[in-house]
Amino acid sequence: MKLDSLKSKLKKEIHNKRHPLRKIQKKYDLCKKDDDVVIIGVTGSRGKSTTAYLIHEYLKFIGKKSILYSSICVDSPVSYIDKNQACELPIKDTEMLLDIVEQAENYKAEYLVLEVSERAIEKGYVKDVPFDIKILTNLNPYHNKDFYDPEKYVEIKKTFFEYSDENSVNVFGLTDPIMKDLLSDFITSSKGKNILFGSRYISKVSGFDENKIDYLLTEKTDSLEGLKIGISFKNKNHQYKTKMLLSHNALNITCAIAVVATLKCYNEDLFKKFIENIVIPGREVLVKTNNRKIIVGMSLMPMLEELYKYKLLNDIKNIKVVVGAPGLGYKTWLKEFTDDQYIMEQTNSRKAAMDYLKKYADYVCITESDSGATPVEEITNELKGYIADYLAHDVVLDRKEAIEKVISESKEDDVIYISGRGNRNILCNGRDTVKFINDLDVVLDILKKLGWEINNG
């Protein structure tokens, strides 16, 4: 099995505390042979978690044996990790990568899908992994500006593709006008076959020739009911609909199609059936009840912009948000996440989030969210200070109570967005303490208590 070489290198590295040289040789193309595993690596500034999950779930949907390591979840039948839990660092260190390799061998996996962060690339954890497909969902040089300057950030991502060989496939996304100028550098520095996906709109505004895009998003309509999209590839336009929210998911779907088609696993009817009702754990789950809409998700951005667009169209009345911010001092944090750089990043992100709320929300309830060793009152007071004179708000320290307050006091045609935790079940409320809370479960319990029926239909 081709992972044997990687496994030996990882064991040697762990023993010697040094990273080995890359000498892995590919022996096959993307048509599987015997017990070979096809390895797919997904990186990017945004969308990598969702794209990795879509690829993995579709492969399972058509009966393939696939393992997924992403921040959305770890899905490995031979792992002790709960699939329903979010995973902050899918590839934390060399030891974790060795565990993944052994799981793929023990499960006799046909596919292994890995979300690859800039940290995993920078530290060299994945440079020996014999990826068959490497994916760049998108690239924003300023995405992690508090940890990396833009030039270094781009170089780290580019390094990932420099590890490619002649038998691998690179999938690049033209998902933002800025990518037009960067694309040639990535293509030049990579080896193997290159496949492009993107949108007609981005092609037009950036001046990029859409005829050079292999998988082209040609049309999109969106609402709180989901997305309807058209994608052109192999000289045909294909139509899809999905309950997934957020416009950028149209490009995530386009990328996933490009990958499974490259794997020779794409089936038109099966993919349409798969994508129509797919739910991404922790990523914008919609609950319709009592003439209200409740959305449980992760990030305020760009969700509130989308909701504001629907508000202007008179589809909703008020946008009400439950929000918190993490503190410092998790017992399990890595050292690099506890220095002054991280503190600055947190401060900048909190202020940016509150400025964003002032622009798009009608009301906000500030509450706890992984306060760690920082007193929750300190965090909520900071957040309140940013919006006190600009936006209707309340502070409710207990998260369950905050969610119940906003739901029970809402009016018909309101949209409630519960942000920040997605499908996480563990909330760190002290340096050494945690409590268990899942936002979606809390919502469902509250609706049952209120006697409100769910009508997602």
Convert the pLDDT of each residue in 32-55 to its tens digit.
555 689 999 999 988 899 999 999
- Residue 48: which of 108, 134, 130, 123 has the closest Cα? 134
Flag whether pLDDT at 177 surpasses 90.
no
Convert the pLDDT of each residue in 135-147 to its tens digit.
999 988 777 665 6
Least-confidence region, from 21-35, 112-126, 285-299: 21-35
Convert the pLDDT of each residue in 147-173 to its tens digit.
678 888 889 999 999 877 778 899 999
Contact at 8 Å (CB) between 91 and 114?
yes
Phi, psi of 195 (to 5 degrees): -125, 135
Domains of the chain, each with CATH number or no CATH: 3-276 (3.40.1190.10), 285-450 (3.90.190.20)
DSSP tag of 351: H
The β-bridge relationship of strands 363-366 and 66-69 is unpaired
Convert the pLDDT of each residue in 411-437 to its tens digit.
999 999 999 888 788 888 888 888 999
Q: Which residue has the higher pLDDT, 457 or 79?
A: 79
Average pLDDT in the 281-297 region? Answer: 91
Phi, psi of 362 (to 5 degrees): -100, -25
Mean pLDDT, the chain, integer: 87
pLDDT band of 31, cuts 50, 70, 90: very low
Convert the pLDDT of each residue in 366-376 to its tens digit.
999 988 888 89
Number of neighbouring beta carbons within 10 Å of residue 138: 25
Share of residues in the chain with pLDDT > 90 (%):
56
Convert the pLDDT of each residue in 120-131 to its tens digit.
999 999 988 999
pLDDT band of 259, cuts 50, 70, 90: very high
For 11, residues 6+ apart whose C-beta sits below 8 A from its C-beta are: 98
Flag whether pLDDT at 67 surpasses 50.
yes
> Which residue type sits at 358?
K
Q: Which residue has the higher pLDDT, 182 or 320?
A: 320
pLDDT score for 403: 97
Average pLDDT in the 107-111 region? Answer: 94
Structure tokens at 361: 């929300």
Average pLDDT in the 113-122 region? Answer: 93
Contact at 8 Å (CB) between 305 and 360?
yes
Half-sphere exposure of 161 (CA within 13 A, CB side): 28
pLDDT band of 20, cuts 50, 70, 90: very low
Flag whether pLDDT at 21 surpasses 70.
no
Phi, psi of 85 (to 5 degrees): -100, 140
